[in-house]
Structures are given as C-alpha cells and as structure tokens.
Structure 1
Amino acid sequence: MPEPMASASAVPTDPSVSEPSTPSVGTFRPGDAVDLILACSRKDRLLAKSGTPYLALELRDRTGTIPGRVFRDADRLGAGFERGDLVRVQGRVERFRDELQLDVHRIARAPQGAADPAAFLPVAYRDLDELDGFLEHLAGEVHDHGLRALLDDLLADDALRAEWRRAPCSRGGHHAYLGGLLEHTVAVGTLALETCQLHVRLNSDLLVTAALVHDIGKTREFAYGAEIELTEAGRLLGHVELGLRMLEERAARIASLDEARRLALAHCVLTHHGPDAAPGRRFASAEALALHRINALDGAVKGALEQGLPGYGSRPGG
C-alpha cells in the first residue's frame, strides 16, 4: 500500500475537512499547487526512454479534464488506486507542449464517502427544471386517453422522474452528460410535435408519446461512479429492451390503452434506431419512420456540435 500523504502541507485524511485549495480543473493555471479530490478516468503504466516506469493519467472533475503524470515512485503510488476511482491528488500544474498537465507528487484512493462520485461527472448545460416543464407541456399535447394515461403514470413516478433528470443519453456519444436524456427527450418531443403540424395525417398522439418514451430504458441502463458505467441490465439487455419492458408493465395497468395502441407504441420504440437495429423488421407505420428520423436528427446535430463534424458517425446513440 502507498504511504499516507502526510506532511505539514499534505492532504488532510479527515474527509470532512474542506479541501480543494484550487477550486476546479477549469480554473487551473500554470504553477498552481493542487491539493484536492479528482476522478481518475485513465491510468496507464508506461516506460520512459530511460526504461523507468511512469503513470499517464487523466484526471477530471465536472469542469473539465487534465492529463497527469507520475514520474516518481510510479509503481508504489499506482498500487493505491485504479481507473474509475476518486483520488486525492497533490501536485503542480505545468505547461507541456502548449497544454496544461498535472505533475503528480502524491496520489491515493480517496477515503470512502469523501465525495459523491456523480459530482465529478459532466452535467447538462440547460436548466433541468425548465426541461422538466417542457416535458410536462409536451405530454399535455397528447389527447388520446390511453396514451395520455400512460404518460401521466410515468410522470407521476417521482423515482423515475429523478432518474429521467439524471441519466445521460450515452457514455461517449451525443448528450453524454447527466441530464442529457431529459434534454434529448424534450428535443425529440418538440421536433415530433412540429412534424405533426407539417404532416397532419400523422397520428400526433402516437408520435409525440413515442418521442417522449423512446429512450426511457436509459433510466435503468447507466450506473454512476467516477465515470458513467453500464448497469448489469444495461450491459446485457440495452435501453430498447429495458424501455419496452417498462412500458409494457405500465401499459398493462391502463384499461383505456388497448392492445392495438400498445403494439403501435412498442413498434415505434423498437425501431427508433431504424430497422437495421431490429433484424427482420421494417417500419410498419409512418410514425415509426418519423421517430427514427427525428431521433437521428437530434443525435447527429448534437454530436456534431459537441464532437465536430469529421469522423462523426451517422448512427445516433439515443
């Protein structure tokens, strides 16, 4: 085990002690002394030209990431933490090849309970309360009694609403931050409503409902630590299957939602990534096709804005 970080200026071992002397990664400047908790999102043991091992790290908080290097006692210090841990770090910010880098002097796994891992994950830019209001407004545009009852049942579930606000859309694609699911849901719902105004033959109640629930399985797909991970159910089943199960369970309790509409809604959810994602199936309704295109539009545009156009794939992650 690594030696405890103890000295006159060392990181305190009591997690209740207020620590960061440097507020956040986003405020780092060359020469800053760092003494705080960060999330370790990369840890590689490499060899210098001299043959001496060193650690290449990526350290993160909600405001950004910074590469870190451990050149002294790399193996000893590296034994004290793993990728994905919250770590207590001491070091100094330096400029290397026109980029900031953290020269790490001491690093160890943070004490249990020292910080909430989710506090180190990126968050939505938009206000979540405002997005919640838009979600409720869009649900109010659904007038079919059965579909509206289903939406009301979902929106009345406080635990589900909390996860809806918390979940991302992906771990590395579009809307890959806390609150990303709600942001994407509202965007797709808004586009669906506008599309129905342009194409009045579309079943607006079905398309808007499908837009609001197409990714609801993502509320069960992700786990939150120092990084966004997959739950076991998310890894084995994926958000489409999880969402279909959630909707079927809820819909079975709603007498006014007959099987024909339940199947129509399930088909939209099942094919929202396109028929290629559902082998052997084709779009059976214009609403399912519209949802697929709208979902792809929001995912692709958001991905291009966040990651740039070059190399951005055509298939969305939401």
Structure 2
Amino acid sequence: MRPVPPASEPTVAALGAGDRIAGAFACVRKDRMTGRSGPFLALDLRDRTGTMPARIFKDVDRWEGQFERGDVIQVSGSVDRYRDDLVAELTAVRRLDPAEVDPAQFLPSAYRDLDELEGFLEGMAGEVGDERFGGLLRELLADEALRRDLRRAPCTIAGHHAYLGGLLEHTVAVGALAMETCVHHPGLNRDLLLTACLVHDLGRTREFTYGAEFGRTERGELLGHVELGLRIIAEPARRAGLDETRWSHLAHCVLTHHGPERAGGRFRTAEAVTLHRLNALDATVKDALEHGLGNG
C-alpha cells in the first residue's frame, strides 16, 4: 500500500477560526474528560507545522474506541476560537494504518539536505583504500532498502539527532571527524576506523517504528542496535572477503562504540577508543545544541 501524500487541506499552521479541518494528523494526546454537558474527548493533533487542540463532543463512546494516542488519524470537523485559542471540533475520526502514511508529515526531519549527506557518505566510503573494507562498504551501499532506511532513521527517540535523517547526519559527522583525526594521528588504521565509523550505527535502521511518534521495534527492544548492526554487516562482510582479523577488529569497534562493557570491560584497539570518543563527541555537541546544557 502506497503512503498517503501530504494532505491538500490547510496545515495546522495555516488553519484559522471558521476553517474546515480535514486530513491526516498525529494524535499526540487523548484524554476522556467530563464537562458541563457530559463526557468529551480532548485531543492534540500534530502535523509537520505544529500542534492544535481538538475536542469530540458527540458520540464520544463510539469514537473513543476507534483510535489511541500515538495513532495517525484521519479527521474531519471545523476550527473555532475558544478563550483566544484555536480548537478543532471533530465530527469524525478514522485510524490510519501506519503503512498508509508518510512519517515526514508528522515527525521532525533533518534540516540538512539528505542527498548532500548521502553524497558525503559515498565520498568517505570511496576514501577507504583497503580492498576488503572497501568491498564491505560497496556491498552495503548497493543495498537500496538499507540506504532508504538509513536516510529515514533517527539516532534516538528523544536525545541527539532525534529526527528523520538524524542517523545519516550523525554517521557522516562521525566519519568526517575520523578523517580529520587520522591526519593528526597517522598511527591509526585509517581504513579500519573510517569503515567502523560508517557502519557503527547501522542497527538503528532496524530499531525504530514510525507513525505519530517514534517507537521501538520488538527486536530493537530485545536486541538493541549494536547487535542488530553486527547482524546487518556480517553477511556483506563475508561476501567482501573479510578475513578473521579484519572482521574481529571491525566488530570490536562496533561492539564498544558506547563503551567497552561488551568486550570484557576493556578497549583492545586504539581505533575502538577513537570511535567511542568521536561518537560521543558528535552526540554530546548535538544534544547540547538541541536541548541545552541543563543544570549541570
């Protein structure tokens, strides 16, 4: 089933008092409440331009069971002004199958151009001189489904790069940091490090679900993105002819990019330490820019 294209009806940001509201929106709040006239449903509807409160006053019992918070819903109704705020009064609601909708209508997206980022990724992959590591990257880049998932996935749900395309942006940033680091530290195995940077978070492409909000897949919850990432690269690595030494060094980097706990509590190579630090650097800087420094 093909995704529903963006609605031609006005977006949240364009709606005004007296307008008709019709189209697909993310339901990011759903509460049953009681007013002077009896029960009603209080909703918040979101699209890529903003959020609007909505109410259902008629046939509450009927509509309440049709959808849940976190669903994408097709709605119809009208917009009125209540106490200086715009509120949508809905007369019909229908839950949409996630496969019917484009997540970009409802979820935050990268500001950077994804085609440009993908070009940087291809360029860095082409900088890998080792034929086996280079072959692995060519195998991965030839997987069109994986590349689509890489363009779509965030890095986290609520932390750094928590938007569509965030994973691609983070991957390119970590790779660029690695190339610069190797200029200053020529003792590093540049091909190993750069390959590890470009594949370290591929498990994120299997970790998330997309709808009104980001969620986690069952395998993402059970296995985590590190294990999922190793599974993604294992077969392409075999086809590319990675020997045991190359595979072990690359897998160690992936396993330890959030810390050495998965490898007996110790980093075993300088490249693994470097990936860990560069990954944390980009994530920490991005988090500070997006969410501030907190009270620490």
Settle same-fold status: TM greater than 0.5: yes
The equivalent of 1:7 in structure 2 is none
Q: 1:104: how far off?
A: 2.7
Q: 1:169: how far off?
A: 1.3
Residue among 268, 280, 285 paired with 1:296: 280
Distance 2:186 2:99 in 1: 55
Q: 1:305: how far off?
A: 2.2
Q: In the superposition, relative to structure 1, how do residues 31 and 175 fare at CA in structure 2: closer, same or farther (>3 Å)?
A: farther
* 2:29 equivalent to 1:45: no
* 2:181 equivalent to 1:195: yes
Computed over aligned residues only, the root mean square deviation of the Cα atoms, in angstroms, reads 2.9
The equivalent of 1:21 in structure 2 is 9
5 Å matches for 1:83-98?
83-89=69-75, 90-92=77-79, 94=81
Residue pair 1:86, 1:117 contacting (<8 A) in 2 also: no
* 2:104 equivalent to 1:116: no
Residue pair 2:98, 2:210 contacting (<8 A) in 1 also: no
Partner secondary structure for residue 219 of structure 2:
helix
Residue pair 1:87, 1:108 contacting (<8 A) in 2 also: yes
Distance 1:261 1:246 in 2: 16
What are structure 1's unaligned runs of at least 5 residues? Answer: 1-15, 313-318
Partner secondary structure for residue 223 of structure 1:
strand
How many residues align structurally?
Answer: 291
What are structure 2's unaligned runs of at least 5 residues? Answer: none
Residue among 62, 78, 89 paired with 2:64: 78
The equivalent of 1:287 in structure 2 is 271
The equivalent of 2:160 in structure 1 is 174
Q: Comparing both structures, which one devotes a greater share of its residues to helix?
A: 2
Partner secondary structure for residue 263 of structure 1:
helix
Q: 1:180: how far off?
A: 1.3
The equivalent of 1:162 in structure 2 is 148
5 Å matches for 1:246-261?
246-255=232-241, 257-261=242-246
Q: 1:258: how far off?
A: 1.7
Name the aligned partner's letter for residue 103 of structure 1: A
Residue pair 1:120, 1:226 contacting (<8 A) in 2 also: yes
Distance 2:6 2:164 in 1: 25
Partner secondary structure for residue 239 of structure 2:
coil
1:85-109 Cα offsets, whole Å, 9 max, x none, are 2223323264768xx5533332411
The equivalent of 1:316 in structure 2 is none
